[in-house]
Structure 1
């Protein structure tokens, strides 16, 4: 009697970029439906991976969220750095700030959702607050290429607020108004701390 053919051996698909795809898919899904709607099933489908891949690469959903938001914050900070690195004068630095607000407030409209979802998490959870603190520190560091630390801190808050307003306002902003606001903040002599 002949022996039956052995079962074919199922080999794991070599997929070295799977973890990165999961992280990017997580950001995509959060940008579309928020953290509350970002189920692991939905993230796995967006990444085109089996559901078990998420638990293989991440201890839990919170780890995936933290890693994804770290990537998001780094990308935004890198853009700040790129804008400020191109400027060689204070005037160019001021214009770079205006450009960040007007030309690049939301490269992807989902970034507004991602930003607000991260802020909401940071308001509740110290681990996310550390992440937003590091994000703000990187932004301020980029501004400190051209401005003193206090001005950089105030400028960071101004950019954050103006970016949110530009994204949510139903009427376009006049870039000249933004330029004046940036000039006022960067021309002000702030009191030194004792």
Structure 2
């Protein structure tokens, strides 16, 4: 890795940290430079606008998250899972999402994506990765039409995670997902 790439990477990581700590409004070039230990000029050299910087930060998160989720999805693509095993997987994914500043930042950036169409395209990649994991697990459970249910499962997990983040209280994520899965598994007339 060249020094230029290293500086760029440190800037992106510092941006994610600051977004997660202080929100998008708290991101300034001076704060990023101090946190990343780079010169102030290197920020504008790599990222001419704040929109470019925020996009790169979300892309960095999405790239790492997509890789993590693809690995998980690959593990469950052709396995038969019980509902309990699916709940365990849900808990594992949720546990992996400890609320560090870098894990809070995407929530902020998803809201920002509502204002920035280019950022929205990056956010969409992450949601597709979550949906792909959900489809893999739902398929392993033998759920009919897993593609139709996946966004609901993903929204439930994300909503409960956001609730946990904003209230500081734990929610029973696996129980909620089990209820959705059980309802889907019940035969319909």
Structure 2 length-normalised TM: 0.79
Q: Distance in 2 between matches of 1:131 and 1:188?
A: 33
The question of whether the paired residues in 1 share the 8 Å contact of 2:99 and 2:165 is answered with no
Q: Distance in 2 between matches of 1:162 and 1:78?
A: 23
What 5-or-longer segments of structure 1 have no aligned partner? 1-12
The question of whether the paired residues in 1 share the 8 Å contact of 2:23 and 2:108 is answered with yes
* Matched residue, 1:164: 162
Structure 2 SS opposite 1:145:
helix
- TM-aligned CA distance change 1:170 to 1:48, over 3 Å: closer
After TM superposition, list the pairs within 5 Å mapping 1:1-194 onto structure 2. 14-87=3-76, 88-91=79-82, 92-101=85-94, 103-106=95-98, 108-112=100-104, 114-147=105-138, 148-173=146-171, 177-189=172-184
Q: Distance in 1 between matches of 2:20 and 2:168?
A: 20
By how many angstroms is 1:166 displaced? 2.4
CA deviations 1:124-181 (Å, max 9, x no partner) are 22222222222111110122113210121111111101111222334333xxx43232
By how many angstroms is 1:15 displaced? 4.6
By how many angstroms is 1:71 displaced? 1.0
Number of residue-to-residue matches in the alignment = 173
What 5-or-longer segments of structure 2 have no aligned partner? 139-145
By how many angstroms is 1:121 displaced? 0.7
Structure 1 length-normalised TM: 0.77
Q: Distance in 2 between matches of 1:31 and 1:14?
A: 26
Structure number with bigger Rg: 1
- The RMSD of aligned alpha carbons is 2.4
Q: Distance in 2 between matches of 1:109 and 1:58?
A: 21
More helix by share: 2
The question of whether the paired residues in 2 share the 8 Å contact of 1:83 and 1:96 is answered with no
